[in-house]
C-alpha cells in the first residue's frame, strides 16, 4: 500500500509539472528514464462511482472530473485527435446513441440516432467517427452527417467470424483501416479483425488459439494492436503486431484485465483491472513492465481512452 501511495504522489507531481509547462493539455514526447511514471496528458474513462455510468477525465494534476453528469448510462469514451472533445455512447434518449462533448463537459451534441450505437472511435483527422450499430460497422461525420455502412454483419456461414461484424477498436494512423472484434458468445470465441474503410480487405489478425479475443486498440505508429484475450481461463492484455506475429501477454496476472488503450508515444498501455478488489485504471509499459495504479475508487473505473494531446 505504501509503495502505491508513493507512486501516486510521483504521478501527480509529474502531471502538475507537465501542466505547468504546456498549459495542462500538452503531450509529453518521452517517458523519461526507467522508474518514472508514464507521460500524463489526460485519460477519459467510464466510472460507476456515482452508482451509474458517467464519463470522467483524469487530468495531469491527478484530478478526476465528471464531464457527462447525467442520470442515464454513459459509456465508451474516446478522445478526438486534438484532445478538445470526447465521443461517447449514452442511453439518455431511450436507446444507446453517440454524443460528443467538450473536454470540460460543455457543448454536448448528439451525433447519431441509433438504435444500439456503441464503441465510437475518432478518425485520425478528427472528421469522422466509426462505431458499431448492433454489430454493423458504421462511420459518421463528427457533426452527425453522412452516415455510411462499412461492414454489415452477416451470418457466419463461410467460417469467417470477422464477416459477422462486431465492435470498433480504432483506426490505423493513416485513416484507411479500422480494427474491430467479432465474437460468437455461444462458442465463446472472438477474433481481432481489420477492414478497410470502404469495406474491403477484411482480415483476421488474431484468431488462434481458439478463444475470446476482444477489445483491440491500434498503436499510434500503426505497427501493433493491444487487446484482451481470455485463454487458459484468464482475462489478460496482449500485444500483437498487425501481421499477427509476436503475440505477447503483457499482464500475466490472475485478475481480470481488460479494455487496453495506448499512450500517445506508444510506450505505455492503460487498462482496467480488478486486481485491487474492484476495477481501477492501471498503466504499464508496452513490454509488460513497470505497473502503476492510476485510480482508487469504490465504483468500477473502466474503458480508458488516453488523450493524444
- Please say if the pLDDT value at position 26 is more than 80: no
Helix H, strand E, coil C: the string for 137-199 is EEEEECCCCCCEEEECCCCCCCCCHHHHCCEEEEECCCCCEEEEEEEECCCCEEEEEEEECCC
pLDDT in tens, 237-282: 999 999 999 999 999 999 999 999 999 999 999 999 999 999 999 9
- DSSP track, 63-106: -EEESS--SS-EEEEEE-TTSSEEEEEE-TTSS-EEEEEETTS-
Report d(CA 24, CA 16) in Å as an integer.
Answer: 8
- Please say if the pLDDT value at position 8 is more than 70: no
Instruction: Identify the helix (H) or strand (E) that includes residue 241.
Output: strand 234-241
pLDDT in tens, 281-299: 999 999 999 999 999 998 9
Mean pLDDT of 198-202: 96
Reported confidence tier of residue 15, pLDDT bands at 50, 70, 90: very low
Cβ(241)–Cβ(256) under 8 Å?
no
Instruction: Identify the helix (H) or strand (E) that includes residue 17.
Output: helix 2-22
pTM: predicted TM-score of the whole model, two decimal places: 0.86
pLDDT in tens, 106-136: 999 999 998 999 999 999 999 999 999 999 9
- Please say if the pLDDT value at position 39 is more than 80: no
Q: Which three cell numbers stand for residue 109?
A: 451534441
- Please say if the pLDDT value at position 17 is more than 90: no
The pLDDT of residue 157 is: 62
The pLDDT of residue 232 is: 83
Q: 296: helix, coil or strand?
A: coil
Beta-sheet strand order (sheet of 128-133) = 117-122, 128-133, 136-141, 148-151
Cβ(250)–Cβ(240) under 8 Å?
no
Residue ranges covered by each domain of the chain:
2-306
- Please say if the pLDDT value at position 4 is more than 50: no
Report d(CA 283, CA 289) in Å as an integer.
Answer: 10
Share of the chain above pLDDT 70, in %: 86
In this structure, which topology does domain 2-306 adopt according to CATH? Neuraminidase (2.120.10)
The pLDDT of residue 3 is: 34
**Nearest of 138, 290, 269 to residue 215 by alpha carbon:** 269
The pLDDT of residue 35 is: 41
Amino acid at each position: 500500500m505504501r509503495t502505491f501511495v508513493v507512486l501516486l504522489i510521483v504521478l501527480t507531481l509529474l502531471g502538475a509539472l507537465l501542466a505547468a509547462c504546456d498549459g495542462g493539455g500538452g503531450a509529453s514526447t518521452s517517458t523519461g528514464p526507467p522508474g518514472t511514471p508514464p507521460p500524463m496528458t489526460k485519460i477519459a474513462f467510464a466510472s460507476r462511482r456515482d452508482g451509474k455510468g458517467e464519463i470522467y477525465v483524469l487530468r495531469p494534476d491527478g484530478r478526476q472530473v465528471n464531464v457527462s453528469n447525467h442520470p442515464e448510462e454513459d459509456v465508451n469514451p474516446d478522445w478526438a485527435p486534438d484532445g478538445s472533445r470526447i465521443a461517447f455512447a449514452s442511453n439518455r434518449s431511450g436507446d444507446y446513441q453517440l454524443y460528443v462533448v467538450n473536454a470540460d463537459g460543455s457543448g454536448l451534441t448528439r451525433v447519431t440516432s441509433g438504435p444500439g450505437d456503441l464503441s465510437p472511435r475518432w478518425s485520425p483527422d478528427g472528421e469522422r467517427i466509426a462505431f458499431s450499430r448492433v454489430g454493423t460497422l458504421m462511420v459518421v461525420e463528427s457533426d452527425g452527417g453522412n452516415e455510411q455502412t462499412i461492414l454489415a454483419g452477416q451470418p457466419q456461414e463461410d467460417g469467417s467470424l470477422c464477416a459477422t461484424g462486431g465492435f470498433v477498436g480504432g483506426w490505423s494512423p493513416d485513416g484507411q483501416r479500422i480494427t474491430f472484434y467479432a465474437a460468437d458468445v455461444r462458442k465463446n470465441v472472438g477474433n481481432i479483425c481489420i477492414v478497410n474503410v470502404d469495406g474491403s480487405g477484411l482480415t483476421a489478425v488474431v484468431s488462434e488459439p481458439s478463444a475470446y479475443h476482444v477489445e483491440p486498440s491500434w498503436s499510434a505508429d500503426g505497427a501493433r494492436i493491444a487487446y484482451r484475450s481470455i485463454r487458459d481461463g484468464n482475462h489478460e492484455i496482449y500485444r500483437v503486431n498487425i501481421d499477427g506475429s509476436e503475440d505477447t501477454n503483457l499482464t500475466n496476472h490472475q485478475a481480470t484485465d481488460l479494455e487496453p488503450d495506448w499512450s500517445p508515444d506508444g510506450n505505455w498501455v492503460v487498462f482496467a483491472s480488478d486486481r485491487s478488489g474492484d476495477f481501477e485504471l492501471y498503466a504499464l509499459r508496452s513490454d509488460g513492465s513497470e505497473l502503476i495504479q492510476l485510480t482508487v475508487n469504490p465504483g468500477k473505473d473502466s474503458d480508458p481512452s488516453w488523450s493524444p494531446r
